[in-house]
C-alpha cells in the first residue's frame, strides 16, 4: 500500500482506539497540509488489516479528498450514503462517504444531533467510522467545523506538522476542540519536515574549511552510504 499502515505511530494509535473501545474518530489539524488525510487512510488501512470494517467520511470542506468511483459526476451531490470511494490519486479504494455538495445539507449537519444520528446509523454496519475534517483555521459559513465533528465522535486526534505548526496554533485548536466537548485522544506528530541525522551530519561536514577537502570528500561519501544515519532527529 502507498500509505504507511505498520509504523509504530499508527500501531500506538490503533492500540489506544481498540483498548478504549472507541468507534468513531475525528482527525483534524490546526492548518492545511499537516497530513490529516494521510493519517485517515493509514489508520483505516490498519483497521482493515486487522479484519475490521471501516467507513471513511470526508467532511473536509476545504480540500475534499475522496470521490465516488461508481457514481456519475452529477449524482455526487447531496447523499450521505456509503459507497466505494477512492483518494484523489486512486491509490486506495475503501468504503466511504463523499463530501455532500448540497449547501443546505452542509448547514444542516452543523446542528447538534445531526452528525450523531448519522454516526449511530453507520456504526450499525461498520466497526469504525473515521472522519477527515476541515483544518481549524479554514472556517467559513458553509464549512462543517472540525469542532462540530469532533464533539459528535468518541474521540478526536490532532495532527501536528513538526517544524511548521506553532505551539500557539496547537494550543488554540485543542482549546476550541475541548470547549466544543471533544474527547481528545491525543496529538500525532508529522515529522515530514524534520531533517534526518544523515542530513545534519552532511550539512556540518560540508562546512569544514577547504584545507580539509580530501578528508571531507571521504566522510561525505561514507555518510551517503550509511542507511543507519537516515534516522530522524
CA 97 to CA 82: how far, in whole Å? Answer: 5
For residue 70, give the 3-state DSSP assignment. Answer: coil
Mean pLDDT calculated for residue range 54-74 = 81
Q: Best-predicted range by mean pLDDT among 79-83, 106-110, 127-131, 189-193? A: 127-131
Q: CA–CA separation, 6 vs 29, rounded Å?
A: 22
Strands 66-68 and 83-87: antiparallel
The region of weakest confidence among 75-84, 129-138, 156-165, 221-230 is 221-230
β-strand partners of 95: 84
Per mean pLDDT, which of 128-142, 167-181, 207-221 is the most reliable? 167-181
3-state secondary structure of 161: strand
Look at the pTM and tell me if it is higher than 0.75: yes
Confidence of residue 1 (pLDDT cuts 50, 70, 90): very low
In terms of Cα–Cα distance, which of 59, 27, 30, 62 is closest to 41? Answer: 27
In CATH terms, the superfamily for domain 8-190 is P-loop containing nucleotide triphosphate hydrolases (3.40.50.300)
Residue 194: the pLDDT is 61
Q: Kindly tell me the burial class for residue 27, based on how many C-beta atoms sit within 10 Å of its own C-beta (0-12, 13-18, 19 or more).
A: buried
| 151-178 average pLDDT score | 89
pLDDT tier at 64 (50, 70, 90 boundaries)?
Answer: confident
Backbone angles phi, psi at 102, to 5 degrees: -75, 120
**Block residue for cell numbers 534526518:** 196
Q: How far apart are CA 93 and CA 19, in angstroms?
A: 27
Mean pLDDT of 188-192: 75
Are 164 and 91 in contact by the 8 Å Cβ rule? The answer is no
The pLDDT score that the predictor gives to residue 2 is 39
The answer to whether residue 191 scores a pLDDT higher than 50 is yes
Q: Where in the chain are the domains?
A: 8-190, 197-230
Give me 139's grid cell.
Answer: 472556517
Output 118 or 109, whichever has higher pLDDT. Answer: 118
Local structure of residue 233 (DSSP, 8 states): -
Residues 46, 214 contacting (CB under 8 angstroms): no
Amino acid at each position: 500500500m502507498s500509505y504507511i499502515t505498520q509504523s509504530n505511530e499508527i500501531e500506538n494509535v490503533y492500540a489506544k482506539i481498540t483498548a478504549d473501545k472507541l468507534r468513531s474518530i475525528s482527525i483534524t489539524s490546526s492548518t492545511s497540509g499537516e497530513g490529516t488525510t494521510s493519517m485517515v487512510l493509514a489508520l483505516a488501512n490498519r483497521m482493515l488489516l486487522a479484519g475490521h470494517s471501516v467507513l471513511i467520511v470526508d467532511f473536509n470542506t476545504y480540500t475534499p479528498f475522496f470521490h465516488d468511483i461508481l457514481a456519475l459526476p452529477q449524482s455526487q451531490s447531496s447523499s450521505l450514503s456509503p459507497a466505494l470511494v477512492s483518494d484523489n490519486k486512486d491509490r486506495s479504494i475503501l468504503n466511504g462517504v463523499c463530501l455532500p455538495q448540497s449547501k443546505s445539507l452542509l448547514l444542516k449537519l452543523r446542528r447538534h444531533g445531526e452528525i450523531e444520528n448519522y454516526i449511530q446509523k453507520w456504526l450499525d454496519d461498520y466497526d469504525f467510522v473515521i472522519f477527515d475534517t476541515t483544518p481549524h483555521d479554514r472556517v467559513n459559513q458553509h464549512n462543517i467545523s472540525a469542532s462540530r465533528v469532533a464533539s459528535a465522535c468518541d474521540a478526536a486526534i490532532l495532527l501536528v506538522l513538526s517544524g511548521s505548526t506553532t505551539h500557539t496554533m496547537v494550543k488554540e485548536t485543542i482549546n476550541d476542540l475541548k470547549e466544543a466537548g471533544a474527547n481528545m485522544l491525543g496529538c500525532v506528530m508529522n515529522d515530514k519536515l524534520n531533517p534526518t541525522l544523515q542530513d545534519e551530519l552532511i550539512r556540518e561536514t560540508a562546512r569544514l574549511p577547504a584545507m580539509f577537502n580530501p578528508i571531507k570528500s571521504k566522510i561525505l561519501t561514507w555518510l551517503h552510504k550509511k542507511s543507519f544515519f537516515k534516522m530522524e532527529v
